[in-house]
Structure 1
Amino acid sequence: MDEGTNIVMVNPVGQVLLHQRDDKPTISFPGHWCLPGGYLEPGERPHECIRREIEEEMGVVLDPAAVRPLCSRRRSYGVEHTFWTAIDLDLSEVVLTEGQGLRWFTRQEAAARRLGYEDNAILAEFFGLRDRGAL
């Protein structure tokens, strides 16, 4: 079974960062917006994986102490370890090595779009926890 990670990155005004996947028919959810992330390499821990993926795909080095666990769930595509972090990131300074683009979305904009994987459910859970003061 596949095992991967993703991350909810939230800027100071409460927007979440979404990544537009490449538009290749050979990948899952081509062209869809989704949370940034990727699959674990052999022997890698989820917390290491998400930081590596973000550095490889965006050139952004995340502070390990600022990357917090949100949930780990069995999803339709495998096991997903989801993290979250608060970050003030200027997207004009990010050089993507994978995907078509990055964009900050409001909660409402993200909810109104059919995201890749099960990312709509993940964001609903994140915002629900945040609304209750659990994050």
Structure 2
Amino acid sequence: MKRSGASIIFINSRNEVLLLLRDDKPDIPYPNMWDLPGGHVEENETSEACIAREMQEEIETDVSSCRLHAVYDFPDRIEHIFLMDLDTAAEEITLHEGQRLRWFSLHELEGLPLAYGFDLVLSDFYTALQQNKVTTRPKT
């Protein structure tokens, strides 16, 4: 049976997504690469409970208002992708894992290699957003 993961796309009012720069340690997968915040679903844990736990541990952020966006069947895992609106400056978010957080526009993501195949996830997300297939908050 494949392992499961839970990750979250935070989107701000400028349609930018929040990414985490992974630690630059040779003993971790994808060192020094940009990544969606998230983690591994533990035994007897739901993907919803996992994303809530991981976001408290990693960035002290309440994601109780997030919603499931998509599920991907990657060769190494099943990944549950959540979505939540967030308009907080990256430097104002408490970070406990990784090197830093940064907001990226669609243009800035082009050609940026992401950890764990999340370039596909974000490409699909922005395509759905452009086709109005993703519900985000009304723009003011």
Q: Is the TM-score greater than 0.5?
A: yes
TM range (shorter): over 0.9
Aligned-residue offset at 1:29? 0.4
Aligned-residue offset at 1:51? 1.6
- SS at 2:19's partner residue? strand
Whole-Å separation in 1 of the counterparts to 2:46 and 2:66: 13
Identify unmatched segments of 5+ residues in structure 1: none
Residue of structure 1 equivalent to 2:132: 133
Whole-Å separation in 2 of the counterparts to 1:76 and 1:100: 27
Residue of structure 2 equivalent to 1:28: 29
- SS at 2:5's partner residue? strand
Provide TM-score, normalisation by structure 1: 0.93
Provide TM-score, normalisation by structure 2: 0.90
Residue of structure 2 equivalent to 1:103: 102
Aligned length: 133
Query: Per-residue displacement from partner, 1:99-128 (whole Å, max 9, x unpaired)?
Result: 011000111111221111111100011111
Matched, 1:79 2:78: yes
Alignment of 1:110-125 (within 5 A): 110-125=109-124
Identify unmatched segments of 5+ residues in structure 2: 135-140
Moved more, 71-80 or 96-105: 71-80
User: 8 Å contact 2:91–2:101 — kept in the other structure?
Assistant: no
User: 8 Å contact 2:6–2:41 — kept in the other structure?
Assistant: yes
Structure 1 stretches of 4+ moved >4 Å = none
Question: Percent identity at matched positions?
Answer: 34
Whole-Å separation in 2 of the counterparts to 1:51 and 1:74: 21
Residue of structure 1 equivalent to 2:57: 56
Whole-Å separation in 2 of the counterparts to 1:55 and 1:90: 17
